[in-house]
Homo-oligomer: A and B are copies of this chain.
Amino acid sequence: MDQTNLHYCRIIEALIFASPDSVTDKIIRQHLPDDATYDAVMEQLLNRYSENSGINLIKFDGNWAMRTAVDVAEHLKTIRESEKTLSRAALETLAIIAYHQPVTRAEIEEIRGVSISKGTLDILLEMGWVRPKGRRRTPGRPITWATSAGFLDHFGLSQITDLPGLDELKKTGLLTAGQTISDVMRADDLSHAVTDDNDEDQLELDELITEDDIAIDMADEAEDE
């Protein structure tokens, strides 16, 4: 590598090193004279901080950062931060946003079958993992949510398509909108059954659970075993 590129390499190396929070492509380019130098320098640095180093240079969503290699993690236990545990609701919401993005609040609630409690999205926003991303062009123009660069950084992904099991999930069709229970519930005759004949249904409920029912349940269970 010639002296000029070495000079720029050292600058960019130091820049990324001294900025724990990742450096954007834009800022890096501001330190370099042209695109050719950028290409040469970044290739050189990627090479330097590869599997031969305990530090990896990673790129995610137009951001560069140095992060320790995963395989040396057990030697760094003393550095481990006390982990914030995410509530189940928050984790599910995060997963839905990650895999279904961009996704509206109503869609998240549809999948979870329960409304998002106040503060769940708040927590994810505060962690810097999700961000609002444009509005859906449907009545009411609801805001859609997506993951942020901070999400990629935290989970060690270089792009959203690297999400575990994403391809498999796509194949099953579970990530595309389909008929849900509430869709079916909205069907006219059914909503009639649910709302108007509510009392009858409650009565029916009371009658429904008999020993026979339990017996049937047990029989089914037994068969499954």
Could you tell me which A residues sit within 8 Å of B by CB distance? 6, 9-15, 17-20, 30-31, 52-55, 66, 68-69, 71-73, 75-76, 78-80, 105, 116, 118-119, 121-122, 125, 131-135, 141, 143, 148, 156-159, 161-164, 168, 171-174
Chain B positions within 8 Å of A17 at CB level: 54-55, 66, 68
Whether B156 contacts A72 by the Cβ 8 Å rule is: no
- The number of times this chain is found in the oligomer is 2
Chain B positions within 8 Å of A80 at CB level: 15, 18
User: A55 with B13: in contact, given A19-B79, A79-B20 (CB under 8 Å)?
Assistant: yes
Q: A15-B75, A18-B79 are in contact. List 17 more A-B contacts (CB 8 A).
A: A6-B52, A10-B54, A11-B75, A11-B76, A13-B53, A15-B80, A20-B79, A105-B168, A118-B171, A121-B171, A121-B173, A125-B172, A132-B157, A132-B164, A133-B156, A141-B161, A143-B164
Chain B positions within 8 Å of A122 at CB level: 172-174
